[in-house]
Amino acid sequence: MITPAEAASAIRTEDLYSRVSLTTILGRPAYMLQAESGQTFTVFADTGELPQGLSPELAREAVAKSGFASGNVAPSYG
């Protein structure tokens, strides 16, 4: 697992971060880094990779597994 500082380095930006949180995306640990500008970046904490090109199906699956979708509401994409 990488550190939050290593995750920030993986993004390759000059932004300063005001908030870092650890979550899971599709069963993988991921850092969510919020820049002072308000932009949020995600870095997988197990490898340091940036999420790339999630298909609509994987995006829906990630939301469904995240707990953000509740009750009988199915996540949609688009």
Sequence-distant (6+) residues with CB within 8 A of 60 are 74, 75, 76, 77
pTM over 0.85: no
Higher pLDDT, 44 or 72: 44
How many angstroms separate the CA atoms of 54 and 77, rounded?
11
Domains of the chain: 4-66 (3.10.450)
DSSP conformation class of 27: T
- 45-67 tens-digit pLDDT: 999 999 888 788 888 787 777 76
